[in-house]
Structure 1
Amino acid sequence: MTTRQYLGSGWDSDAWLVDGTWVERTAKRPDVEPWLRTETTLLPWLAPQLPLEVPRPVVGKEHPLTVRHRLIAGRPADDEPGLGTAVGEFVAALHAVDLDEATSRGLPPPERTSALRDAHFDRFETDVVPRLPIATGAWLRDRLALLRDAPASVVVHGDLSAEHVLVHDGGVAGVIDWGDARAGDPAKDLVWPLHQAGPEVAREVAAAYGVTDELATRARAWLDVGPCYAITHGDDVGDRGLVAEAMTWFPAI
């Protein structure tokens, strides 16, 4: 008999564990379905080029569209020995993947990333900055200005975090949740490793990846503008609690 265990809901999809082996996902909105299909083409091609396991989804059912991949066993990353080296090597390998080949398999291309970034940042200027104290709003505008001209030059995971880096048996097992993958700024994938995961991880990642001061500075700026995405998403879905929480993430200037 098939067993189904609900794993949770993200911004774009719901997930279940089936028979303890398969992760199945369905889109929360119709506009998400094309990306789920893209994952079934992009990720199996990407996986052999990376030093850590990533999902290799296939279409399991059409109505509703359901994609499935084998479970990558592990728990969200903690302070594991060697974590930073493994993550740094993974990110370096990902950013070395041929971007043209990736976009031919459905990865959003640089021009799409740039257009979306401009639209998001325009909205942040209009909908977020006015809610902040004057000094904090000016601080946020400075960071938005820094990032508007950031490159979209490599394949990025786009949401690399402790929740999406899995560890198992004392090592890094894999990287999941590729819903934000696109052509993007390499600094985007360095936000968590450099500025949120702790000093040891940051040192290891910097050494393994070869992080420059410019990359580290942009990664910090991406972290600083992060609450804007949560605030506007909360506005869109009517989640006032998320909006209120995200407003507290800005520093007091």
Structure 2
Amino acid sequence: MPRSAYVLAALATAAVPGLKPVAVREPEVPGQAFDVAVVEDDRHRRWVVRCPRRAAAGAALESELRLLAGLADRSRSGLAFAVPEPAGSVALPEGGRAVVHPYLDGAPLHPGELRPGPGLAAALGRALASLHDVPHAIVEEAGLPVYEAGEYRERRLAEVDRAAQTGYVPARLLTRWEKVLEDVGRWRFHPSVVHGDLVAEHVLVADDAVVGMLDWAEAKVADPADDLAWLAVGADADALDSVVEAYSVARREQPDRHLTTRARLAGELALTRWLLHGVTTDDGAVVDDAVQMLRDLDADVGEEPL
């Protein structure tokens, strides 16, 4: 059963010595694997408390905390933005722990609001470059996945096969995706440290700068295109070009020329993961939502190649 915001505030009090809550609220976008609340204390400081709902989420949280410790050391990671830095934790009766970190200021970055040019789009490109240049060892030490390019392509192929077996994916989309997946030349990339779950709420901006990134549970060493997927399907084409241009200049290693193609593919395949989630959990509402989005995508792209 989900914990209430008031229970989470009590856990924050136990986790951080001297924290005295005066207000608490749930985030605008609730988590699926965690109970989350934002707590304000008597010194006008804001805190985020996260509590895993299941043992699997608790195990993922432990890996995420090890990763965040490495990323927060900017002399080692080279990140150009802030990440959550835990201030305390408290053990839970059923096992695992609730973790509290200072609230990171900034507004969510909605891709549709990006404009081309040297402003926020370029700043985002540089921020992503700093992330993708993080040493692989930081992810390896956290016990998170590390993939080679060929292995990652095979995972994508398996994902499409599973989605096809549901019978819900339009045939034209399957053909569109398979052409890219079967072209081995498009998958000769250098694996990078990726966030793995970039959406508007996970990227914080202020004054045309990226100031923070949240929710690192899906981080891994994999295809750098994954972190451009939300932009490839949600941003104006010229704005995406500005992001990629700044990204390419800032990266220590020049990105491959098929980066944006794989980013568009990854963005479209997110719909198959949503579909498979609904099928696996037997959630008819999720399946219906995913099927409608796949139909809309099919109508939009038709037989156009990626």
- Same-fold call, TM cutoff 0.5: yes
Q: Is the 8 A contact 2:123 2:208 kept in 1?
A: no
- Name the CA shift for 1:146/1:229 in 2 (closer, same or farther; >3 Å): farther
Q: Distance in 2 between matches of 1:132 and 1:194?
A: 21
Aligned match of 1:54: 83
Q: Is the 8 A contact 2:188 2:256 kept in 1?
A: no
TM-score when scaled to structure 2? 0.72
Alpha-carbon distance, 1:97 to partner: 1.1
Q: Is the 8 A contact 2:70 2:138 kept in 1?
A: no
Which residue among 39, 51, 73 is the counterpart of 1:26? 51
Q: Distance in 2 between matches of 1:11 and 1:114?
A: 28
Q: Is the 8 A contact 1:43 1:55 kept in 2?
A: yes
Q: Distance in 1 between matches of 2:160 and 2:32?
A: 19
Aligned match of 1:230: 274
Q: Is the 8 A contact 1:144 1:225 kept in 2?
A: no
Alpha-carbon distance, 1:237 to partner: 2.8
| 3-state SS in 1 of match to 2:134 | coil
Q: Is the 8 A contact 2:199 2:230 kept in 1?
A: yes
Aligned length: 251
Aligned match of 2:69: 44
| 3-state SS in 1 of match to 2:258 | helix
Alpha-carbon distance, 1:125 to partner: 1.4
Alpha-carbon distance, 1:44 to partner: 2.5
Alpha-carbon distance, 1:157 to partner: 0.4
Confirm or deny that 1:106 pairs with 2:143. yes
Alpha-carbon distance, 1:234 to partner: 1.7
Code of the aligned partner of 1:43 = L
Which residue among 148, 154, 173 is the counterpart of 2:192? 154
Alpha-carbon distance, 1:228 to partner: 0.7
Confirm or deny that 1:67 pairs with 2:104. no
Aligned match of 1:122: 158
Aligned match of 1:93: 130
Confirm or deny that 1:142 pairs with 2:179. yes
Confirm or deny that 1:247 pairs with 2:298. no
Alpha-carbon distance, 1:212 to partner: 4.5
- Name the CA shift for 1:191/1:185 in 2 (closer, same or farther; >3 Å): same
Code of the aligned partner of 2:231 = P
Greater radius of gyration (CA): 2
TM-score when scaled to structure 1? 0.85
Confirm or deny that 1:5 pairs with 2:25. yes
Aligned match of 2:237: 199
Q: Distance in 2 between matches of 1:194 and 1:122?
A: 22
Q: Deviations over 1:85-142 (max 9, x none)?
A: 111111111111110243123232227x948x75674354134452233333333433
Moved more, 218-227 or 101-110: 101-110
Which residue among 210, 214, 222 is the counterpart of 1:176? 214
Code of the aligned partner of 2:284 = R
Q: CA RMSD in A?
A: 2.8
Q: Is the 8 A contact 2:87 2:102 kept in 1?
A: no
Confirm or deny that 1:220 pairs with 2:241. no
- Structure 1: tracts of 5 or more residues without a match: none
